[in-house]
Amino acid sequence: MKKNILIVFLSVGLFLSAPLIDPLNLIARAEQSTQKPVPRIAKYWEKVKEGVVHCLLCPRSCVLSEGQRGICTVRINKGEKLYTLGYGDPVTINIDPIEKKPFFHVAPGEPVFSLAVAGCNMRCLFCQNWQISQSKPDETQNYYLSPEEVVDLAIKNNCKFIAYTYTEPTVFYEYMLDIAKIARQKGIKNTMHTCGYINPEPLRELLKYMDAVNVDLKGFTEEFYAKIGMMAQLQPVLDTLKIIKQEGVWLEITNLVIPGFNDDPVKIKEMCVWIKSNLGDDVPLHFSRFMPSFRLQNLPPTPMEKLQEAYQIARDAGLKYVYIGNVPGNPAENTYCPHCGKIVVKRIGYRILENNIKNGKCKFCGYKISGRWSPE
């Protein structure tokens, strides 16, 4: 089918909220696919016995009989082969400011071509995008875009970055990987926002083509992950963080502070000490304000004093770049030079008000500010 797609850059708001999920609000002209893409054989799996396959993509390690899907709902056993249903059928497309991902140390103010396929390998009770992350890709209203078309659209819309985001990019791994390879060839940078629940081998293959990754470190106990993530585990996420750092890909971390769930100051301190010891003191850490959503609509928004407490704990632990998100106008949205203390990037919400970084350094004192500041 011939498609005529024009992406519209929406006016940038002030609030770090979940993205709009209705593609018709994001695309000026587009034709919905009348034919769903054909499922493709997945990567990273093995046949274990007659009629049964074993998925090796993520720590869920799903063992699937004929017709069964993994927890992600995207990978399925058909005829003793593992197929992905998440190739070429994004449920949403948008152009966002890079700060929305959030990346605060990557090319401030740059527009990012963002896309997602329905599905997720976690089942978080507080998911902000549950309408698409908790859906199956063959049951949502999608667009068909080949990897080549995604990259071409990014170029046509003057985007130097592509972001795999909104849901969990791991579940559309093959699609993301093919887009990323083409993007790299054409000089477009690749970023993703992920829960980090992926096995080391596929992660290392993917990181060859990634320029920046933001990982949701949702909490710092195994009990928390088991409770909120459908028996997920913390350790694989910590392993992911260390591998990203080892591979030299720019890393930022987001921690959504949920009242009564993961806001224990003792555990927040343990998390911050672990980050400094294992990843370095210059990895940006974003404490994001929880807003009632999905299955936790009974909870209040995160109290400001809890966010300030977390911020101070992280700073006291020796982390250089700590932020508070979802609170437009808070001074902790800004980037401060660790040496002279002056604001090097001033923000309000998604907007960049000042950029005082020159050649990767504070223009006031010359201190090197960690990051990937150039879009080129």
pLDDT digits (tens, 9 = 90+) for 158-209: 999 999 999 999 999 999 999 999 999 999 999 999 999 999 999 999 999 9
Q: Are residues 205 and 144 in the same domain?
A: yes
Residue 49 within any structural domain of the chain: yes
Residue 174 within any structural domain of the chain: yes
Residue 116 within any structural domain of the chain: yes
Distance CA 173, CA 150 (A): 15
pLDDT at 293 over 90: no
Q: Which domain holds residue 51?
A: 40-84
**Token pair of 123 as six digits:** 């089942």
pLDDT at 12 over 50: no
- List the CATH number of the domain containing 170: 3.20.20.70
| Chain-centre distance for alpha carbon 336 | 24
**Among 31, 53, 84, where does a domain finish?**
84
**Among 24, 58, 84, where does a domain finish?**
84
Residue 4 within any structural domain of the chain: no
Q: Are residues 80 and 98 in the same domain?
A: no
Q: Are residues 164 and 247 in the same domain?
A: yes
What percent of the chain shows pLDDT beyond 90? Answer: 84
The pLDDT assigned to 44 comes to 98
Q: Are residues 156 and 290 in the same domain?
A: yes
Q: Are residues 78 and 148 in the same domain?
A: no
Q: Are residues 159 and 54 in the same domain?
A: no
Residue 368 within any structural domain of the chain: no
Q: How confident is the model at residue 376 (pLDDT cuts 50, 70, 90)?
A: confident
Q: Are residues 107 and 75 in the same domain?
A: no
Tell me phi and psi for residue 273, to 5 degrees.
-65, -40
Distance CA 310, CA 314 (A): 6
Q: Are residues 166 and 76 in the same domain?
A: no
* Pairing verdict, β 285-289 and 322-325: parallel
Distance CA 312, CA 309 (A): 5
Q: Are residues 58 and 137 in the same domain?
A: no
pLDDT at 26 over 70: no
Residue 26 within any structural domain of the chain: no
Distance CA 143, CA 36 (A): 9
Distance CA 202, CA 119 (A): 18
Residue with tokens 């089918």: 1
pLDDT at 61 over 70: yes
pLDDT in tens, 221-270: 999 999 988 899 999 999 999 999 999 999 999 999 999 999 999 999 99
Q: How confident is the model at residue 36 (pLDDT cuts 50, 70, 90)?
A: low
Residue 24 within any structural domain of the chain: no
**Whole-number average pLDDT of the chain:** 91
Q: Are residues 222 and 248 in the same domain?
A: yes
Residue 374 within any structural domain of the chain: no
Q: Are residues 65 and 193 in the same domain?
A: no
Angle at 218 between CA 217 and CA 221, to 5 degrees: 95
Sign of the CA dihedral 161, 329, 253, 62? negative
Q: Are residues 51 and 96 in the same domain?
A: no
Sign of the CA dihedral 278, 347, 111, 168? positive
pLDDT in tens, 86-101: 999 999 999 999 999 9
Q: How many domains does the chain divide into?
A: 2
